[in-house]
A and B are shown apart, each in its own frame.
Chain A
Amino acid sequence: AQTVTQSQPEMSVQEAETVTLSCTYDTSESDYYLFWYKQPPSRQMILVIRQEAYKQQNATENRFSVNFQKAAKSFSLKISDSQLGDAAMYFCAYRNYGQNFVFGPGTRLSVLP
Chain B
Amino acid sequence: DAGVTQSPTHLIKTRGQQVTLRCSPKSGHDTVSWYQQALGQGPQFIFQYYEEEERQRGNFPDRFSGHQFPNYSSELNVNALLLGDSALYLCASSYRDRDYEQYFGPGTRLTVT
**Do A and B share a complex?**
yes
Q: Is the CB of A44 within 8 A of B104?
A: yes
Which of A14-22, A56-64, A67-75, A99-107 touches B?
A: A99-107
Which of B19-27, B42-50, B72-80 touches A?
A: B42-50
How far is it, in angstroms, between the C-alpha of A50 and the C-alpha of B100 when the chains are bound? 9
Q: Is the CB of A95 within 8 A of B41?
A: no
Q: Is the CB of A44 within 8 A of B42?
A: no
Q: Does A55 contact B (CB under 8 A)?
A: no
Q: Is the CB of B41 within 8 A of A43?
A: no
Q: Is the CB of A103 within 8 A of B106?
A: no
Tell me whether A44 and B105 are in contact in the complex, defined as CB-CB below 8 angstroms, given that A33-B100, A95-B100 are known contacts: yes
- Number of residues in B with C-beta < 8 Å to the partner? 23
Q: Is the CB of B56 within 8 A of A44?
A: no
Most chain B Cβ neighbours within 10 Å, of A44, A47, A105: A44
Q: Does A25 contact B (CB under 8 A)?
A: no
CB-nearest residue of chain B to A32: B100
Partner of A100 from the list B41, B56, B101, B107 (CB cut-off 8 Å) is B56
**Binary interface profile of B, 78-105, with partner A (CB < 8 Å = 1, else 0)?**
0000000000101010000000111111
**A-B contact list, 11 entries, CB within 8 Å:** A43-B109, A44-B107, A50-B100, A50-B101, A93-B42, A101-B43, A101-B45, A103-B44, A104-B42, A105-B41, A106-B42
